[in-house]
Structure 1
């Protein structure tokens, strides 16, 4: 039985300890994949505001970028080489730049990735994270990734 793109992504999310600790999940609407960061008190960096920790925000954005690449490569037209457990090997981050636009509030956050370039060796991804309104992001990022080779 062939695994769906969603089941592959959920299995990969479950294998990364920090992503599991963050509680990152995915929500699919049509062909769009949205990453979800459910709020938890452990994610607070500044208890006075309270605001999400900057490292949590960066990790959420980077995870979303990798998920976007996986989503794009698992569409059946191309695939990534498989690792030991029969799951795709993950792209490796070359660089990742985060723009913190405002404080992330103490509530759920959402993010979507847009794959700008997807080649055999290299990929470029833009990510945007929001909370209440998608047109009002609290952080955005640009990342470059080395794609796994067979």
Structure 2
């Protein structure tokens, strides 16, 4: 039972997923700080913020009110996703793949003896039965 649990835990997918969740959660604060302190001000250079602090293209609706499409939030979300994905890949996935390749090189897979197919077995049985019947 312990051996099965050990094999389950050491599978690359489980470790990759656990690390990605933990690091993604911790890295979110850093990414949000970078986006709010650098990216949002850069975007606001091109678009004026509305009363709620949203910035993006402003359109007047049919009632005469101005509506702002907050593309700053969209850009922030895209940058956050890409930053987390890059960090997870280069810090965790790539080294884990290299580790797996290293382990595979240390312990090359032994080719198992291929068993005959059902058809080959049936032919062999038929031939043996013919041989026994003729004797």
How does the TM-score come out when normalised to structure 2? Answer: 0.30
Bigger Rg, which one: 2
- Greater RCO structure (CA 8 Å; 6+ sep): 1
User: Going by fraction, where is helix more abundant, 1 or 2?
Assistant: 2
Bigger fraction of residues in strand: 1
Could you tell me the TM-score, scaled by structure 1's length? 0.27
